[in-house]
Each structure stands twice: as C-alpha cells, then as structure tokens.
Structure 1
Amino acid sequence: MKKLLLLFLIGFASVSFAQTVNDVPIRDIDVYYVQIIGTGRSLSTKVNVEIDFGQETKSISFKNGTSIKDERGRNMKFNSMMDALNFMSANGYSFQFAYTMNDDKDKAIYYILKKNK
C-alpha cells in the first residue's frame, strides 16, 4: 500500500509541476515543430520568450497566451535565448535553425525547434 501511495505522489508531482503554454504542458504539445521568439526587455538583460506552435490566438487579447508559464501560472523569465533553448531541449525539442528580424522598435530572435520522437 505504501508503494502505491508513493507512486501516486510521484506521478501527481510530475504532472502538477509542468510548464505550460495556453494551459498545455510543453511536453504534451502535439506538433512536430515550434518557434520560440525572443525579444529584449527594457532595462534588463533578460529576454521575453514566447512560443508559437500553430495555436489559435484571439485577435484582441489583453492577456498573452503564448508565454511559457511556470508551475504557478506565472510567466517564465529567461536569462538569454540560450537559456530558453536549453529549457526547450530539456522538454524534448531540438534546435533546427534561427533567424532575426529588425523592426523600427524591436529586434526579435526566432528559433525553430523540432520535437524529438
């Protein structure tokens, strides 16, 4: 009985402490490719990271649903794009290629990742 309880607690802990995008755990996103977008944060060395896996987004939204959330539902903060890439690698994705885009206001870095099978 104790072993069964221990297995239940371990299983619950692994499910309840998952990072999510649109309330979907990153490991459970059912796509082959994702794009992570990194933009600089004003007065900070950290970057804002969003993830695009082809999900439907609302055209008018005051809440950004593409941000990666931690186990408490707060937006995750990454020190750099390498930090974000290492995070995604630990969650089952591998790097394919990267590109940048410069806008009048912002510079964004895009990484294309493939889900490991």
Structure 2
Amino acid sequence: MMLSVSTTVSAEEPTQRVYAELLGTGTNFLNLNKNVKVSVDLGQFQSATKAYTLLDENGKDIKFNSMVAAMNYMGERGWKFIQAYVVTVSNQNVLHWLLYKDITDPTQIKEGLNVKNMD
C-alpha cells in the first residue's frame, strides 16, 4: 500500500492588532435622545485633535440611534468590542467603547470607513 502525502506551505502575512475608541455624546440616562454623536479615535493623530467623524457614502455625518448601532457599524467593518466605560464631563456623559481588529497592513486601519478630522 502506497500513501502519498502532499504538503503546502502557505505564507501567512503577519498580523498586527490595532485599537480604536468610539466616543459617544448626546445620550442621557434613559437614552431618550434619538441620536448619539459618535466619533472614532484610531490613535493616529499627533495633534490635539485626535478623533474622526464618521461619514456616510455621501460625505454627511452619520447619526446613530445608539452606541450599539455605532458598534454594529464598526463590527461590519471588522472591529471587535473589548470594553466600555463612561466618563462624566460637565454633567455630560461621554461613552467610551474600546475596539480592536487584526490587520496585515497599516492602511487597513481605515478600511471601510469614510472619515474626516473633527473640527
């Protein structure tokens, strides 16, 4: 009996884990507001402005109904949830959701995202 074994070596590209933070404002305790202002910090800025505004395909700011809607949006683009916390600044809750994704090239950080620098 003869047994033939074939092996293939695949060159996998090394992956790098990158992190992002969704920042949400405009919510209240009962979540009665219909829109949450969401920005995303991809950790790429050297200046004081460190977050992006998310834009739709027409270049308009995306208005999310909740942070979960924003997370679903990011999840569709490969981001995974890690942790959430709230910081209150001047009686305003700022929601922070930490995310990650594994990439093989730094240009993949913004893949699937249409963003502009926050003013």
TM range (shorter): 0.5 to 0.7
User: Does residue 34 of the first structure (1) align with residue 20 of the second (2)?
Assistant: yes
User: Does residue 47 of the first structure (1) align with residue 47 of the second (2)?
Assistant: no
Q: CA–CA distance in 2 between the matches of 1:41 and 1:83?
A: 13
For residue 55 of structure 2, the aligned residue among 59, 69, 82 is 69
**Any gaps of 5 or more consecutive residues in structure 1?**
1-29
Max Rg structure: 2
CA distance 1:51–1:31, shift in 2 (3 Å): farther
Q: CA–CA distance in 2 between the matches of 1:81 and 1:57?
A: 26
The structure whose RCO (Cα within 8 Å, separation 6+) is larger is 2
Query: After the TM superposition, which of the residue ranges 36-45 and 99-108 deviates more from structure 2?
Result: 36-45
Q: Which residue of 2 aligns with 1:103?
A: 89
- SS of structure 2 residue aligned to 1:32: strand
Q: Which residue of 2 aligns with 1:18?
A: none
Runs (4 or more) in structure 1 with deviation over 6 Å come to none
Identity fraction in percent: 32
Q: TM-score, normalised by structure 2?
A: 0.61
For residue 77 of structure 2, the aligned residue among 59, 74, 91 is 91
Q: CA–CA distance in 2 between the matches of 1:31 and 1:116?
A: 4
- SS of structure 1 residue aligned to 2:83: strand
Cα RMSD, aligned residues only: 2.7
User: Does residue 82 of the first structure (1) align with residue 68 of the second (2)?
Assistant: yes
Which has the larger strand fraction? Answer: 2
Q: CA–CA distance in 2 between the matches of 1:65 and 1:112?
A: 13
- SS of structure 1 residue aligned to 2:24: strand
Please tell me whether the aligned partners of residues 94 and 116 of structure 1 are also in contact (alpha carbons under 8 angstroms): no
- SS of structure 2 residue aligned to 1:88: helix
Displacement of 1:105 in angstroms is 3.5
**Any gaps of 5 or more consecutive residues in structure 2?**
1-15, 104-119
Supply the AA of the counterpart residue of 1:81: M
Which has the larger helix fraction? Answer: 1
Q: CA–CA distance in 2 between the matches of 1:95 and 1:78?
A: 17
